[in-house]
Amino acid sequence: MRRPSFSTAHVLARASARPQAFDGARIHPVNGIPQSSERASLRGPEAQRIGGRFWFATGAILLIAFAMAITVSFISAAHDNSRIERLKTEGVPVVVTVTNCVGNIGGSGSNASGYTCRGAYRVKGVSYQETIGSKSTLSSVGSTVSGIADPERPSTVELASAVARSSPSPSAYVVASVLALLFVALTLLFLRRLHTSRGPTPRSRPPGDVPSMP
């Protein structure tokens, strides 16, 4: 029987067709396909998944910050109403001499949207030179206007006509109330998601309740 002959080129072609792995300066044949862990190492480390605790902690911090903002909004509204009531009942009437007026540029930048005026006045022998609140019209320097100074903060002065037209209003609490309702809704949603993520609590088996073996 005649033995088959193989040329050198045929042997090299079959050897190159086998999968090989490079290890230093030597090449070794590799049998089979690389495992998934080996393929993952070639692409780099796997991305770490952010756990649920991180998101719940972030939500709790945001809710606390939201609650603080609502509290500040309520305090600001109460302060404004209190200041208006104080100016109407205990305000100090003063005569304010206009020292200068500066025009405020409008949105387009081509026209004035009002004026900011400063004036000088005296309260209990003390001289003040402050911005005249609620005044948006132009007045010549040296002219006088009637003002009301805050008894608790004399450096604050408002036009007497503006104080007469203003009054404490519950509408100052509208924005804060809407934010408070939104906060309640978000808090309930947060607590619901927290309860759902924990799952039902397993029921404990009484000590004497041992299942019988068949």
Name the residue range of residue 79's domain.
52-171
Structure tokens at 98: 């206009």
Chain centroid to CA 171: 25
Position 3 in a domain = no
Assess contact for 129 and 120: CB atoms under 8 A: yes
| 18 three-state secondary structure | coil
DSSP per residue, 66-88? HHHHHHHHHHHHHHHHHHHHHHH
Position 145 in a domain = yes
Angle of helix 52-90 relative to helix 174-198, nearest 10 degrees? 160
> Could you tell me where the beta strands, DSSP code E, fall in 30-135?
92-105, 112-123, 126-133
Assess contact for 126 and 141: CB atoms under 8 A: no
pLDDT in tens, the chain (214 residues): 555 555 555 554 555 555 554 455 454 555 555 555 555 555 555 656 666 788 888 989 999 999 999 999 999 999 999 999 999 999 999 999 999 998 887 666 666 678 899 999 999 999 999 999 988 888 999 999 999 999 999 999 999 999 999 888 888 899 999 999 999 999 999 988 888 876 555 565 555 555 555 5
Position 212 in a domain = no
φ/ψ of 27, rounded to 5, equals -115, 125
Assess contact for 154 and 90: CB atoms under 8 A: no
**Neighbouring residues of 18: CB distance < 8 A, sequence distance ≥ 6:** 29
Tally of CB atoms within 10 A around 145: 20
Position 205 in a domain = no
CA–CA gap between residue 33 and residue 201 (Å, rounded): 45
CA–CA gap between residue 48 and residue 41 (Å, rounded): 15
Position 121 in a domain = yes
How many domains does one find in the chain? 1
Position 141 in a domain = yes
Position 94 in a domain = yes
